[in-house]
Structure 1
Amino acid sequence: MAEGEIKSGNLVDWKVLRRLFSFAKPYMGTFWMLVVLTVVMAVLAPLRPWLIQLTIDDNIAVGDFEGLQRMMLLLVGLLLLQSVVQYFHTYLSDWLGQFVIRDLRTTLYRHLLGLRLKFFDRTPIGRLVTRTVSDIETLASVFSEGVAAIVGDLLQLVFIMGFMLYTDWRLTLVCLSTLPLLILSTWVFKEKIKVTFNDVRNAVANLNSFVQEHLTGMSIVQIFGSEKREYEKFKTINKEHRRANLRSVLYYSIYFPVAEVIQAMGIGLLVWYGARQVINAEIEPGVLVAFILYIQMFFRPIRLIADRFNTLQMGVVSSERIMSLLDSREHLADTGIYMPEHLQGAVQFKGVWFAYEEPDWVLKDISFEAKPGETIALVGATGAGKSSIINLLNRFYEYQQGEICIDGRHIRDFDIASLRRSIGVVLQDVFLFSDTIGNNISLNNPDISLEKMKQAADLVGARKFIERLPGGFEYNVMERGATLSVGQRQLISFVRALVYDPRIIILDEATSSVDTETEEMIQAAIEKLMKGRTSLVIAHRLSTIQKADKIIVLDRGEIKEEGTHEELLAKGGWYANLYRMQYKEVV
């Protein structure tokens, strides 16, 4: 079974439903009003056949025209009352469902915001989108067409049965003689449609994951000419989605005609037996007419109850998926309460060991110190562990052994939000949201004014190009900053880091993706950004870090050398070898 799939279990998982309905606690007034309206609807339903029976036998049969008029007015009044009750019942059930799914979606998104990056590394984004949007949307029908509708249908059956037995128990038995057949067909349909629904939901999740991932990576697909292969993969996934839906259509197309035939058989038996009773004057004609109406009203909720249970099952399966996500224990333990007003910026790694999956150690006994205002450069081949050091300092991941301290205080003592505000990060792959430049810089933080953004942009040399764009800071950069060059996106990321005035700056290969001319512009911005701040710099181009106070050479998670540029060249070791290799490439 693929990750994230949930097989059908029991029809109703009461534990899951209780958790789902716990989100309705703030709206219990509306919930109990809905319960009252459900009972009222069940009581009103069988009154109409009973009044019609009285009208035929007590008014029409004896020619009582005045009585007939009164009964007609009573029936019209009853229909109006049923319409009003039905309106409020439908509105309140949908109202309750929408408010519950709003709260649940907010809770789920807040939960996702707090999950470790490790969780997102192994979970397809499309599957999370399905949980947050499609699965939660399904839950609205649990309130509007699921539990409330099933309870209402069952109550209606009870009251109709009571009226039928009170009126004539023999006709009641004739009416219900075909009921076992309907119950059996309903049960078979319910079981089949339950499995089919699981297949549909899993197919939707797979489809979302594939489309999201391949649209994001469309440039790679086109660069390597994989359009046809990816199209064939999409057709296969889409075909499975179609098959799952067609299976559900097949079961619906079989069940409802069968249910209609069974109901028609029941009415036929009733008319055959009831007509003889009327001819023999054993019952009044109005009783037979009332029973025809009763049996139609009785079979209708039973015929629909399979669909109601399907809706409930859809909600249960979706709830299981959502609750499973809410129960994920992937949160970073935010137990720290230290929120310093001002940091010096001293960073210490003391014997740090880290593995994404033990025992495959990515970092092994890493120890170094960056004093306030110093620049520490991290160099090494791909996979040496440079980015992992940065991820640990920001507490994106948790290390297994050792200590990481800032200003002599363990980073686990810090409030996470306070810690991350103190660290400015500029990544190689700059991510920009489909929004204005201003909102991408401030990330919608109301504490960051436009004036502050302009000052930061001035400092790193980005204001000139920003104000040349249509709208300036109001210019929409489109998804992932597609309308800007690599260098422009990088400069915006510098401004974004600078407006928060961090004491520690992290530059993760910030110039490795740009040309030499753009690199010179960015390098000037970097020098301004690093001034007076503790800086950790990752760079493939050794020319950009020659002025660093200390260079640390990493290989396979271990520190091989450390010192200044001149000291490491003089040693003639790892760094000198890297420098000679890069110098040859440049030449």
Structure 2
Amino acid sequence: MTSEQESPNKEPNGWVSYKRLLKYVAPYWPIFLLAILGYAIYAGSSTAFAHILKMLVDSIEQGMEDKRLFFPLIVVAIFALRGLGTFLGTYFMAHIARQLVHHLRMDLFKRFLVLPARFYDQHSSGHLVSRLTYNIEQVTGAATKAVTVLLREGLFVIGLMGYLLWVNWALALIFVAVSPIIGAVVSYASKRFRKISRRIQNSMGDVTHVASEAISGYRVVRSFGGSEFEYERFREASEYNRKQAMKMALTKAINTPVVQLIVAAALGFLVWLALSPELMGDMTPGEFIAFLTAASLMAKPLRQLTEINNEIQKGLAAAQDVFTYLDAPAEPDRGSRTLDRAKGEVVFENVSFRYGDDQPLALKNIDFSVKPGEMIALVGRSGSGKSTLASLIPRFYEVSEGQILLDGIPTQELSLASLREQIAIVTQQVTLFNDTLAANIAYGMKNPSREAVEAAAKAAYVMDFVEKLPNGLDTMVGDNGVLLSGGQRQRIAIARAILKDAPILVLDEATSALDTESERYIQQALEYVMQGRTTFVIAHRLSTIENADRILVVAEGQIVEEGTHEELIGQEGAYAQLHKMQFHEQVTPQ
């Protein structure tokens, strides 16, 4: 099972990623100090418990009955301090972690909104959604549980070690001696944790991708008998994820007892040495018991510190993956000029385009001009380059050679926002959002009036079917307009274009998948929306563009013919052949 390739960039090391994460934490440093204070209170009060035990044993030995009330009160006070410290540390660290994850998620989503079309050509939506959900939550694990345990138990270990050195420095050095061994075990486990974590994150992208495809395309899956195939495909993705998770569990299961065994061996050796008179020195029985208690208390925080390494490495692997996407270059927007409202003159000057440096030219030397208000039709066989040509106008792709001018201004000199304000697009694949009809028509508009929305809906013949709905324009359309027919969805897209009132209109196969009645409504709506606008029509049905001011015939990325319908029919070239083929299909009995 292979995951999609993630990034060509060199992978940063863990420390670089961690420093970058700290930049998200920096604005909350006062809260971070409160969390550290809480963990310091926890560590100090927990360490004090060993010293209280020393005082208790010495008091019993010396018969100090006058402190009978003191010890119960001090024990309660210690545990109250531990509780206060735990609350301060855990709550404020969780606050910081959720802020970090929120801002990281917003930054990633913001980056997704400005990445170029080529990026989306190369990445599936399932993998991208997985980054926003699963991978970001892995960072949460590192930022909450991992940092919490790291600070709380780390300060506890420091406190215990300080106490051991104070009581008997010679015996305390025994623990220090085993530190390099523990460090070597943790270092090896860290590398393996991070490697496996990255596989798990990628495999979660595969799971999300396969599931989203099967769910969104359930009609095709069922009608073509693909249920078993999709089940098997999902099973493979989920099984690969399970295997990687089990490798993680195995590494964690081995790492923890090995570290515990090393600590236990050191503790046993310490007890054996401690019983020798030379090392016991002048220690009282209370000091000896307190020393052993502090040493034994160190086993738990050390175990938790080694276990949390798993969370840290998962978080670092996720952070590195997220940063890879955050560093992906946005679509170029170096233009600074703006237009209030374009006249609509569009000029292609020797434009060539390829989808990648290693790809052949998809468009070659495209050269034509369009006057304001003209209707230009682009026709040709599938794959000839019609849609690619239209995609260059709003700069979804950057031209490889030549330039496109709008009202005499190269489009690269215009800001993307200003350029795209001048263009409305209606495609065959209509995108609707799970909102009301009115909200979908007014999508992207700032506070449009209800009257304007209703007027656009009426002009696009949306009101013909809206009046039959219980909530009218306030009816929810469902996921991507699933509750509407193809013709109804198309009319909403046209109403959206009417409301935008842009001077340039791009119609990409807007009627090719409609029935005759729906097409009649759509054509009437299009005739309205095209009035006074420069219009580019990509058409499959040639009957819909016979009234175009000019028809450009595109073949293999080049314009091979240009003229009106009558002129091109008279030339008896490529357009005439396409027209004859469609006319023959229409008159041939079925």
Q: TM-score, normalised by structure 1?
A: 0.93
Amino acid in the other structure paired with 1:353: S
Paired residues of 1:432 and 1:481 also in contact (CA < 8 A): yes
Q: Secondary structure at the match of 1:315?
A: helix
- Give the corresponding residue for 1:431: 431
1:127-174 CA deviation, whole Å, 9 max, x = no partner?
211221211122123332334532443343233122112212454356
**Cα distance in 2 between the residues matched to 1:376 and 1:166:** 88
Paired residues of 1:12 and 1:313 also in contact (CA < 8 A): no
Q: Name the count of aligned residue pairs.
A: 583
Task: Output aligned runs, 1:435-450, within 5 Å.
Answer: 435-443=435-443, 445-450=445-450
Q: Secondary structure at the match of 2:336?
A: coil
- Give the corresponding residue for 1:49: 50
- Give the corresponding residue for 1:337: 336
Offset of 1:307 from its aligned partner? 2.1
Q: Secondary structure at the match of 2:331?
A: coil
Task: Output aligned runs, 1:347-426, within 5 Å.
Answer: 347-358=346-357, 359-426=359-426
Offset of 1:186 from its aligned partner? 4.4
Q: Secondary structure at the match of 1:46?
A: helix
**Cα distance in 2 between the residues matched to 1:186 and 1:16:** 19
**Cα distance in 2 between the residues matched to 1:193 and 1:509:** 50
- Give the corresponding residue for 2:459: 459
The runs of at least 4 aligned residues of structure 1 exceeding 6 Å deviation read: 9-12, 174-181, 275-278
Paired residues of 1:42 and 1:159 also in contact (CA < 8 A): yes
Assess, with a 3 A threshold, how the Cα gap between structure 1 residues 460 and 201 changes in structure 2: closer, same or farther: closer
Offset of 1:49 from its aligned partner? 0.5
Q: Secondary structure at the match of 2:318?
A: helix
Q: Secondary structure at the match of 2:512?
A: coil
1:90-144 CA deviation, whole Å, 9 max, x = no partner?
1111100101111111111111101111100001222211221211122123332
Amino acid in the other structure paired with 2:240: E
Offset of 1:380 from its aligned partner? 0.5
Paired residues of 2:40 and 2:85 also in contact (CA < 8 A): no
Identity over aligned pairs, percent: 33
Structure 1: give runs of 5+ residues left out of the alignment: none
- Give the corresponding residue for 1:575: 575
Task: Output aligned runs, 1:415-564, within 5 Å.
Answer: 415-443=415-443, 445-564=445-564
- Give the corresponding residue for 1:253: 253
**Cα distance in 2 between the residues matched to 1:14 and 1:281:** 44
**Cα distance in 2 between the residues matched to 1:361 and 1:502:** 31
Offset of 1:525 from its aligned partner? 0.8
Paired residues of 1:189 and 1:306 also in contact (CA < 8 A): no
- Give the corresponding residue for 1:294: 294
**Cα distance in 1 between the residues matched to 2:314 and 2:169:** 38
Paired residues of 1:182 and 1:303 also in contact (CA < 8 A): no
Task: Output aligned runs, 1:6-21, within 5 Å.
Answer: 13-21=14-22
- Give the corresponding residue for 1:117: 117
Offset of 1:528 from its aligned partner? 0.8
Assess, with a 3 A threshold, how the Cα gap between structure 1 residues 304 and 325 changes in structure 2: closer, same or farther: same
Amino acid in the other structure paired with 1:76: V
**Cα distance in 1 between the residues matched to 2:414 and 2:251:** 58
Task: Output aligned runs, 1:180-191, within 5 Å.
Answer: 185-191=185-191
Amino acid in the other structure paired with 2:117: L
CA RMSD of aligned residues (A): 2.6
Task: Output aligned runs, 1:42-81, within 5 Å.
Answer: 42-57=43-58, 59-81=59-81
Task: Output aligned runs, 1:209-248, within 5 Å.
Answer: 209-248=209-248
Task: Output aligned runs, 1:295-314, within 5 Å.
Answer: 295-314=295-314
Assess, with a 3 A threshold, how the Cα gap between structure 1 residues 456 and 247 changes in structure 2: closer, same or farther: same
Offset of 1:370 from its aligned partner? 1.7
Amino acid in the other structure paired with 1:347: V
Paired residues of 2:42 and 2:83 also in contact (CA < 8 A): no
Amino acid in the other structure paired with 1:357: G
The yes-or-no answer on 1:317 pairing with 2:317 is yes
Structure 2: give runs of 5+ residues left out of the alignment: none
Paired residues of 2:347 and 2:404 also in contact (CA < 8 A): yes
Amino acid in the other structure paired with 2:494: F
- Give the corresponding residue for 1:140: 140
Report the more deviating stretch, 133-142 or 418-427: 133-142
Paired residues of 1:175 and 1:269 also in contact (CA < 8 A): no
Q: Secondary structure at the match of 2:298?
A: helix
**Cα distance in 1 between the residues matched to 2:493 and 2:7:** 41
Paired residues of 2:127 and 2:208 also in contact (CA < 8 A): yes
Assess, with a 3 A threshold, how the Cα gap between structure 1 residues 111 and 185 changes in structure 2: closer, same or farther: closer
**Cα distance in 2 between the residues matched to 1:10 and 1:354:** 31
Offset of 1:515 from its aligned partner? 1.0
Amino acid in the other structure paired with 1:344: K
Amino acid in the other structure paired with 1:50: H
Paired residues of 1:423 and 1:504 also in contact (CA < 8 A): yes
Offset of 1:531 from its aligned partner? 1.2
Paired residues of 1:379 and 1:539 also in contact (CA < 8 A): yes
Report the more deviating stretch, 568-577 or 182-191: 182-191
Assess, with a 3 A threshold, how the Cα gap between structure 1 residues 193 and 327 changes in structure 2: closer, same or farther: closer
Amino acid in the other structure paired with 2:214: H
The yes-or-no answer on 1:26 pairing with 2:27 is yes
Paired residues of 2:435 and 2:478 also in contact (CA < 8 A): yes
Q: Secondary structure at the match of 1:483?
A: coil
Offset of 1:36 from its aligned partner? 3.7
Amino acid in the other structure paired with 1:510: A
Report the more deviating stretch, 568-577 or 300-309: 300-309
Report the more deviating stretch, 416-425 or 440-449: 440-449
Offset of 1:10 from its aligned partner? 10
Assess, with a 3 A threshold, how the Cα gap between structure 1 residues 192 and 575 changes in structure 2: closer, same or farther: closer
**Cα distance in 2 between the residues matched to 1:461 and 1:2:** 46
Q: TM-score, normalised by structure 2?
A: 0.92
**Cα distance in 1 between the residues matched to 2:147 and 2:174:** 30
**Cα distance in 2 between the residues matched to 1:342 and 1:445:** 16
Paired residues of 1:6 and 1:198 also in contact (CA < 8 A): no
Offset of 1:4 from its aligned partner? 4.1
**Cα distance in 1 between the residues matched to 2:12 and 2:574:** 64
1:12-47 CA deviation, whole Å, 9 max, x = no partner?
622211111111232222223333444444333311
Assess, with a 3 A threshold, how the Cα gap between structure 1 residues 444 and 576 changes in structure 2: closer, same or farther: closer
Assess, with a 3 A threshold, how the Cα gap between structure 1 residues 244 and 154 changes in structure 2: closer, same or farther: same
Paired residues of 1:27 and 1:96 also in contact (CA < 8 A): yes
1:229-248 CA deviation, whole Å, 9 max, x = no partner?
22222212211111111222
**Cα distance in 2 between the residues matched to 1:82 and 1:400:** 66
Report the more deviating stretch, 121-130 or 375-384: 121-130
**Cα distance in 1 between the residues matched to 2:137 and 2:552:** 51
Q: Secondary structure at the match of 1:535?
A: strand
